[in-house]
Amino acid sequence: MTPERSDDPYTSEYPPGCNIDPDIKAFIKHYYTQVDTQGKHAEYSECWSDDGVLIVPHGKSFRGRDAISKLHQGMWNGVPKRTHRPAKVFPFGDNANTVVIIGTVEYWMDDGLYVKKDMAAQAKYQRSSKTGGIEMSSLQVWLTG
C-alpha cells in the first residue's frame, strides 16, 4: 500500500503501482467528508448520479438522489457525530472506476454511547455528463455486528 496516510481520517492508502484517476481519489475523501458532516444533505446528494444506488448494510437499496438524501437526513437521528475512516482503497485494476474500500466508522450517540464498527464497501464511479466531475453511481456497504 502506498503511504498516503495522515491524521486526516479521510486520507486512504492505495496499492503500490496501481493507477487510479486522481479525481476518484479526491472524490472518495470529499464523499466521506460530506457523509460525516451533519446538515450537508444537499452536498452529500450531489455526490450521487441522478440514478445512483446505495445499498445499506441490512440490504435495503435506495435509488436516486432524493431517496439517498432522505436516508442521509435520517441517519443523523440520535447520532450527533460520526467519522468514517476509509483506510484502504483497492481499485479493480489499473484506471478502474470500481473500488473496494476497507475501514471503520465511529458513532457518538445522543445517549453518550460510542460505537466503532469495521466497514467494507464496493463503490462505482462515473463522470457526470452534466459537470464532467466524478459522481457515485453505486455503493454497497457492509458493517460488522
Kindly report, residue by residue over 50-84, the tens digit of the pLDDT: 999 999 999 999 999 999 999 999 999 999 999 99
Overall domain count for the chain: 1
Residue 123: give the domain boundaries: 22-143
Query: Would you place residue 5 in the very low, low, confident or very high pLDDT band (cuts 50, 70, 90)?
Result: very low
Whether residue 16 lies inside any domain: the answer is no
- Residue 110: predicted pLDDT: 96
Whether residue 26 lies inside any domain: the answer is yes
Whether residue 12 lies inside any domain: the answer is no
Whether residue 11 lies inside any domain: the answer is no
Give the rounded percent of residues in the chain with a pLDDT score beyond 90. Answer: 90
CATH number for the domain including 28?
3.10.450.50
Q: Which three cell numbers stand for residue 139?
A: 455503493
Which amino acid appears at position 109 of this protein?
M
- Beta-sheet strands, E only, within 17-133: 48-55, 61-63, 81-91, 98-108, 114-127
Whether residue 110 lies inside any domain: the answer is yes
Q: Is 62 helix (H, G, I), strand (E, B) or coil?
A: strand
- Residue 88: predicted pLDDT: 98
Average pLDDT over residues 101-128: 98
| 73 torsion bin: left (phi>0), alpha (psi -120 to 50), beta (else) | alpha
Whether residue 117 lies inside any domain: the answer is yes
Whether residue 13 lies inside any domain: the answer is no
Query: Would you place residue 7 in the very low, low, confident or very high pLDDT band (cuts 50, 70, 90)?
Result: confident
Global pTM value: 0.92
What is the distance between the alpha carbons of residues 72 and 42, in angstroms, rounded to a whole number? 10
